[in-house]
């Protein structure tokens, strides 16, 4: 999975929203990313856990799309990942009211300085509004560019504890 992927969510009015997120883990359970749960994406994910990710590799002309539901990672997982972030990123998680309007960047920088005084060392706890989500895919589609627009498409659909495979027309 590339480092950054496009994440799609739906708001309360059923309007889609897409943004890039950093992938911080993948395993047999799904794809993990982190955010402020009070942000637009956090609110969307908590209100409607259905989501989709699209990843693109330009050098191989390959796309992977995942669709499914999200679950919040465990407290232990969120704490462990948060501790690996650079100090300024951890302070930023406290300082930023993600998605909220601010009068200017100087407000954000002042808040970072405020939290730097509050947490002068490396021991910065994870904010209660900051955690991770895991996309648990029900569908995974692999798309590879083909000559003359005759692309290869394979769709995997979750079926019980396994996967059903379909070949799709381009």
What are the residues facing 33 on neighbouring strands?
133
Catalytic residue among 19, 29, 149, 153: 149
Catalytic site includes residue 149:
yes
Question: What is the SS3 assignment for 47?
Answer: helix
Query: Closest by alpha carbon to 134, among 52, 30, 55, 48?
Result: 30
Q: 3-state SS string over 62-91?
A: EEEEEEEEEEECCHHHHHHHHHHCCHHHHH
Active site residues: 149
């Amino acid at each position: 999975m590339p480092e950054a992927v496009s994440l799609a969510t739906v708001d309360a009015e059923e309007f889609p929203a897409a943004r890039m997120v950093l992938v911080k883990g993948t395993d047999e359970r799904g794809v993990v990313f982190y955010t402020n749960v009070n942000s637009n994406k956090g609110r969307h994910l908590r209100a409607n856990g259905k989501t989709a990710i699209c990843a693109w590799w330009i050098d191989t002309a390959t796309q992977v799309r995942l669709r499914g539901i999200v679950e919040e990672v465990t407290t232990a997982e969120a704490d462990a990942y948060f501790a690996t972030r650079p100090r300024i990123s951890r302070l930023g998680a406290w300082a930023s009211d993600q998605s909220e309007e601010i009068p200017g960047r100087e407000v954000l920088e002042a808040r970072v300085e405020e939290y730097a005084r509050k947490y002068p060392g490396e021991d910065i706890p994870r904010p209660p509004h900051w955690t991770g989500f895991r996309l648990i895919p029900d569908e995974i589609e692999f798309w590879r560019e083909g000559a003359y627009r005759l692309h290869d498409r394979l769709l995997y659909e979750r079926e019980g504890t396994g996967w059903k495979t379909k070949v799709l027309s381009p």
